[in-house]
Amino acid sequence: KAGVTQTPRYLIKTRGQQVTLSCSPISGHRSVSWYQQTPGQGLQFLFEYFSETQRNKGNFPGRFSGRQFSNSRSEMNVSTLELGDSALYLCASSQGQLLEGETQYFGPGTRLLVL
C-alpha cells in the first residue's frame, strides 16, 4: 500500500502571499490531520478532517484553513503568509478519527519558507 504523500515537498513564498498544500492519505484512511513543526514550538496540531468535516482544531489563527474531499485527500491553505509561518507542515492519516486512538501514519512533509 502506498504511504501518505504530500505535495509539494518544498515551497518558497513571500510575505502576504497565500499557499495551498496537499495531502493524500493511505488508501482506505478517512482521517487526515495536519501539524506544523518548527524548531521553537515543536510539533503542533493544526486540525483534523474526517469524512469531509473538520473534527477538531488547534490554536492557530483563522489564516490557517483546510478542507477534505470525498476521496479523503485534504488540502491546507494559509493566507497572508507571515515570516513565522516558515515550517515543516506534516499530515497524518488513520482509518478512524483521532479520538479513536489509532496509529497515525505521517507523510514526508512540505517545507515552507516564507521570505
State yes or no: residue 113 binds another protein (CB under 8 A): no
Q: Is 45 among the residues that bind another protein (CB under 8 A)?
A: yes
Beta-strand relationship, 74-78 and 19-24: antiparallel
Q: Does 25 bind another protein (CB under 8 A)?
A: no
| 55: CB partners within 8 A, 6+ apart | 31, 47, 48, 49, 97, 98, 99
Residue closer to another protein (CB basis): 18 or 41: 41
Q: Out of 11, 13, 22, 55, which residue is the one contacting another protein (CB under 8 A)?
A: 55
Nearer to another protein, 49 or 72 (CB): 49
CA angle 111, 69, 46 (to 5 degrees): 45
Phi, psi of 61 (to 5 degrees): -65, 165
- The answer to whether the beta carbons of residues 52 and 92 sit under 8 Å apart is no
| Residue 76 interacts with another protein (CB under 8 A): yes or no | no
Binding site for another protein (CB under 8 A): 4, 33, 35, 42-45, 48, 55-56, 58, 88, 90, 92, 97-99, 101-109, 111
